[in-house]
A and B are shown apart, each in its own frame.
Chain A
């Protein structure tokens, strides 16, 4: 941390930060609208969060406490690297604790712990345009946003139902912000969509390669698109987290061995660890399950659980592969 002087505070030069802040302010003023900005080269490859890092660098101050998560985890390569980056170039305090962080940069999850007013959630966005795969021409999609022509978005959902019998989109699920712009919430699981609705925290989205910034100000309506007869619903897990026993959270599948053993654990590592620390009788221990033929290639939205998990958590130790 001695070499901070060799960089400008938070890596970006002040002019760049001003430019990005202007884009952010415009994004906040027009919720859900994609504001073009002059994305800079960052010391990391596109797709690793260059947009999120630029947004964070533009809003971070010496008093901020930064948390970085990657798919909910604080301890994955991307999260660790970005945290280390800001510790080096901005000398800010970092944390893994959701509640004490003032800025949370995230890749594809919203923390389980409810966010509060004053916190800023910065999303790393690979593809900001929700209409991209339906209409490849950017000139046309911008026009469609301008004229509020969003029928095409429902065509995608229609296709889902026609092919799968239900809306099969599980992540990057399109939302309508404040009744106006249709927005890609970045590839967060649709499980997190309801958390965006009227959230007290400011939500900023940065797409570095695509050079777009957009925002959802606090207490803004964020409504997931759906059909009247096929309403929006989030993934349901028919078992709690194998480590902390939390229900109603988003779970990751962890493969334990090459015999089909797997378990489902909280994707939000901070949430999981807190719960285990708080719990007087932590139920630790790998809960391997699903023997032999049944392997873990199940989609998270509908996990077939063969006769497991009918019982509540905290007593599963003995249930190794049957």
Chain B
């Protein structure tokens, strides 16, 4: 860990016409840190994530990223080519619906290998070996490497999507409800896997979720959003065990006790 953050976000706002997507969001993200963004649907979580990952351009505010060479770059001033290059090398984006993040009509191996080929890898044998390695790391059998993701279960697809994103060794991964739509046992395994990978690789991650349990398991720090604004932020344990904002208290007390 260094004493410099990886990502600095300052007064980020996104408006859809007169409606607020997210407003005045400020935070720093350090290398190896997992930040959870929680809140109910419509609270601006996904807008924030899309702005940060440059899939959307914000209405105002800045976000700077420390590149691998230590240079600070302002995300919204970079050219589209640079942003897209960053997106497929140093960053990852895990979609809630794996079909959005995968190529459903090409094999699992090619899905994992695509990023390698995109950065200029031209050796089939090496690409395939890397794909095999990554499939095993996300617990997909090697003999499924030539199957299309269409033939995979939801959990497997999500694991494949994670492998596809991590193959270039990114430093920052955005996740949008990574466990949404999965049943609880599959969710548990996926979370376990994610936790292992994040720790092993020292990834920084921003995880958007409405599931407080996911946030508690994965993240060290958390931001609670409501109506596009951050109402509370702090260490995950602190926020969940001692919520201060009335909305956070409501959120925490709304968790179903089984």
Interface residues of A (CB under 8 A from B): 134, 143, 147-152, 154-156, 158-159, 161-163, 226-230
- Chain B 30-66 interface mask (CB, 8 Å, partner A; 1/0): 0000000000000000000000000000000000000
Q: How far is the CB of A217 from chain B (nearest CB, A)?
A: 26
State whether A162 and B107 are in contact (beta carbons under 8 Å apart), knowing that A227-B124, A229-B124, A230-B124 are contacts in the complex.
Answer: yes
Contact indicator A155/B103 (Cβ below 8 Å)? yes
Of B9-17, B92-100, B113-121, B248-256, the one contacting chain A is B113-121
A148 to chain B, nearest CB (A): 8
Q: State whether A147 touches B118 (Cβ < 8 A).
A: no
Residue of B nearest to A226 (CB): B122
Nearest chain B CB to A35's CB is how many angstroms away? 21
Question: How many residues of chain B have a CB within 8 Å of chain A?
Answer: 23
**Chain A proximity mask over B152-168: 1 for CB below 8 Å, otherwise 0:** 00000000000000000
Instruction: Please tell me if the beta carbons of B124 and A152 are within 8 angstroms of each other in the complex.
Output: no
Residue B4 at the chain A interface, CB threshold 8 Å: no
Known A-B contacts A152-B118, A163-B146, A228-B122; the reply to A158 vs B127 at CB < 8 A is: yes
**Chain A residues near B81 (CB-CB < 8 A):** 147-148
A151 contacts which of B80, B115, B124, B146 (Cβ < 8 Å)?
B115
B106 engages A155 (CB within 8 Å): yes
Q: A159-B110, A162-B107, A162-B146 are in contact. Are A149 and B84 (CB under 8 A)?
A: yes
B70 within 8 A of A: no
Q: Which of B80, B114, B122, B127 contacts A147 (CB 8 A)?
A: B80
Specify which chain A residues have a CB less than 8 angstroms from the CB of B246 in the assembled complex: none
Interface residues of B (CB under 8 A from A): 80-81, 84, 88, 103, 106-107, 109-110, 113-115, 117-119, 122-125, 127-128, 145-146
Question: Smallest Cβ distance from A31 to chain B, in angstroms?
Answer: 20
Among residues of B, the one whose C-beta sits closest to the C-beta of A148 is B81
Question: Would you call B114 and A151 a contact (CB within 8 A)?
Answer: yes
Shortest Cβ gap from B157 to chain A (Å): 18
Chain A: which residue is nearest B125 at the CB level?
A: A229
Could you say which residues of chain A place their CB within 8 Å of the CB of B124? 158, 161, 227-230
Contact of B114 among A148, A152, A229 (CB under 8 A): A152
Q: A134 vs B104: C-alpha distance in the bound complex, in angstroms? A: 11
Given contacts A151-B88, A162-B107, 11 further A-B contacts (CB under 8 A): A134-B106, A147-B80, A148-B81, A155-B110, A158-B109, A158-B110, A158-B127, A162-B145, A163-B107, A227-B124, A229-B125
Q: Among B84, B113, B122, B146, which residue has its beta carbon within 8 angstroms of that of A155?
A: B113
